[in-house]
């Protein structure tokens, strides 16, 4: 469990399935979370996905539920997804989604990112953290840049939603950059 001031990141549990199902079937939430509106997902499909995680059958990703400390309720999910091509984990992509829309713009994304970076660099000793979003997702880009992520690339017309193509932006943060920012505060 990773604990912040207002939220904590904990392992997903079966009782989180209803919240995940609601968020996974909300077009606006999924467009921001995955840079494309998701097709509707059944409870059975989500349950099968969750079962793998509950059994520890997916070592390439650490999944967390974002829980609001004051209410004890889940407000979203996040993950650290490892790049496994080197045989040893050096890099990972961070992902997060605040699924409860009334919790948007409350600083939870900032707190989640702080906790994920601390886990990635201080506990897992990763070399690099990645961040992917679509070009028009200004909130996601601003959040990444707030923590020192730098744009590394653009995949032109990578995603199609809302009847048009959108660029994907790839950002990265090296452990040395994280350490430098940490020690300059």
**pLDDT tens, residue order, the chain (185 aa):** 899 999 999 999 989 999 988 988 888 887 777 655 556 677 888 788 788 777 777 778 899 999 999 999 999 999 999 987 666 789 999 999 999 999 999 999 999 999 999 999 999 999 999 999 989 899 999 999 999 999 999 999 998 878 889 999 999 999 999 999 887 76
| SS3 track for 118-157 | HHHHHHCCCCEEEEEEECCCHHHHHHHHHCCCEEEEEEEE
Q: Where are the alpha helices (DSSP H) in the chain?
A: 17-24, 27-34, 43-54, 108-118, 138-146, 175-183
Which residues pair with residue 131 across a beta bridge? 171
Interatomic CA distance for residues 33 and 35, integer angstroms: 6
Q: Which two tokens stand for residue 65?
A: 């539920």
Maximum Cα–Cα distance across the chain: 48
Residue 182's pLDDT is 81
């Amino acid at each position: 469990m990773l604990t912040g001031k207002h939220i904590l990141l904990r392992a997903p549990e079966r009782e989180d399935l209803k919240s995940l199902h609601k968020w996974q079937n909300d077009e606006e939430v999924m467009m921001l979370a995955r840079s494309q509106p998701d097709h509707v997902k059944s409870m059975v499909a989500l349950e099968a996905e969750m079962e793998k995680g509950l059994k520890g059958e997916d070592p390439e990703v650490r999944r967390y539920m974002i829980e609001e400390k004051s209410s004890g309720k889940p407000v979203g999910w996040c993950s650290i997804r490892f790049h496994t091509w080197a045989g040893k984990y050096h890099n990972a992509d961070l992902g997060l989604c605040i699924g409860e829309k009334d919790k948007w713009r409350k600083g939870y994304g900032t707190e989640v990112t702080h906790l994920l970076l601390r886990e990635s660099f201080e506990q897992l000793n990763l070399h690099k953290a990645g961040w992917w979003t679509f070009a028009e997702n200004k909130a996601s880009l601003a959040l990444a840049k707030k923590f020192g992520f730098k744009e590394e690339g653009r995949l032109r017309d990578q995603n199609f939603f809302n009847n048009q193509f959108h660029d994907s932006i790839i950002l990265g943060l090296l452990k040395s950059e994280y350490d430098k920012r940490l020690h300059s505060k």
